[in-house]
Chain A
Amino acid sequence: MFSDYAALIVLLPVIAFVLTLFLGKRLYSGGALIPIAAIAGSFIISLGIFFEIYPGGMVQQSIPWFSSGISQMNMGILIDPLAIVMLLMVSFVSLLIHIYAVGYMSHDPAKSRYFAETSLFTAAMLSVILSDNILQFFISWEVVGLCSFLLIGFWYHKPSAAAAAKKAFLVTRVGDVLFLAGIVMLYVNLVEIINNPANAFKIEPGNFLLQFKTMFEAIPLIDKTQLTYITLLFFGGAVGKSGQFPLHGWLPDAMEGPTTVSALIHAATMVTAGVYLVARTFPMFVATPDTMSAGVPDSLLIVAYVGGFTALFAATMGLVMNDIKRVLAYSTVSQLGYMMLALGTAGTVLGAGAVGISMFHLISHAFFKALLFLCAGSVIHAVGTNDIREMGGLFSKMKITGTTMFIAALSLAGIGIPFLSIGTAGFFSKDRIIEGAFEYGEKTGDLIPYAFAVIAALLTSIYIFRLWFMAFTGKPRSDRHSHESPNVMTVPLMILALFALFFGFSQLAFYGYVETNFELMGVEIAIHEGEAVHPPVLIVLLPVIVGVLGFLISYAIYYKRMLDMSKIISSENPLYKLLLNRYYEPKIGADLIGVKLTHDVVAQSGEFIDRKIIDGLIIDTIISNTIFKIGGLIRKLQTGVVQNYASITILGVALLLVILRLKFGGI
Chain B
Amino acid sequence: MALYSYLLISIIIFTIGVYGIITQRSGIKILMCIELLLNSANLNLVAFSSYNGNSTGQVFALFSIAIAAAEAAIGFAILVALFRLRDTINLDNINILRW
A interface with B by C-beta (< 8 Å): 635-636, 638-643, 646-647, 650
Contact = CB atoms under 8 A, between A and B. Distances in A.
B21 A646 contact: yes
The 5 closest A-B pairs by CB, nearest first: A640-B98, A640-B95, A635-B99, A638-B99, A647-B22
Given A641-B91, A642-B91, A650 B22 contact: yes
B46 to A, nearest CB: 21
Contact of A650 (B18, B25, B30): B18
Contact of B21 (A636, A638, A639, A643): A643
A627 to B, nearest CB: 15
Contacts of B21: 643, 646
A643 B91 CA distance: 8
Nearest to A637: B99
B95 A643 contact: no
Contacts of A650: 18, 22
Interface in B57-99: 91-92, 94-99
Interface residues of B, number: 15
B95 A641 contact: yes
Contacts of A639: 95, 98
B5 interface: no
A636 B99 contact: yes
A647 B30 CA distance: 13
A300 B59 CA distance: 82
B23 interface: yes
Interface string B9-49: 00000000010011111000010000000000000000000
Nearest to B25: A643
B97 A638 contact: yes
A643 B23 contact: yes
A646 B22 CA distance: 7
A643 B27 CA distance: 11
A641 B98 CA distance: 8
Contacts of A647: 22
A322 to B, nearest CB: 66
Contacts of A635: 99
B98 A643 contact: no
Nearest to B96: A640
Give the one of B91, B95, B99 with max A CB within 10 A.
B99
A93 to B, nearest CB: 62
A604 B76 CA distance: 59
Nearest to A632: B99
B98 to A, nearest CB: 3
Contacts of B18: 650
B44 to A, nearest CB: 15
A650 B37 CA distance: 12
B82 to A, nearest CB: 12
A643 B98 CA distance: 13
A641 B99 CA distance: 11
Contacts of B24: 643
Contacts of B92: 641
Contacts of A636: 99
A640 B25 CA distance: 13
B30 to A, nearest CB: 8
A635 B22 CA distance: 21
A636 B99 CA distance: 7
Which residue of B22, B23, B30 has the most chain A CB atoms within 10 A of its CB atom? B22
B94 to A, nearest CB: 8
15 contacts: A635-B99, A638-B97, A639-B95, A640-B94, A640-B95, A640-B96, A640-B97, A641-B91, A641-B95, A642-B30, A643-B25, A646-B21, A647-B22, A650-B18, A650-B22
Given A636-B99, A643-B22, 14 more contacts: A638-B97, A638-B98, A639-B98, A640-B94, A640-B95, A640-B96, A640-B97, A640-B98, A641-B92, A642-B30, A642-B91, A643-B24, A647-B22, A650-B18
Nearest to A653: B18
Nearest to A651: B22
A640 B94 CA distance: 8
B90 to A, nearest CB: 11
Contacts of B95: 639-641
B64 to A, nearest CB: 19
Contacts of A638: 97-99
Contacts of B30: 642
A639 B96 CA distance: 9
Nearest to A650: B18
Contacts of B98: 638-641
A611 to B, nearest CB: 30
A357 B22 CA distance: 87
B59 to A, nearest CB: 25
A643 B97 CA distance: 13
A647 B18 CA distance: 9
A367 B78 CA distance: 69
A639 to B, nearest CB: 5
Contacts of B99: 635-636, 638, 640
Of the candidates B24, B95, B96, the one having the most CB atoms from chain A within 10 angstroms of its own CB is B95
A214 B30 CA distance: 72
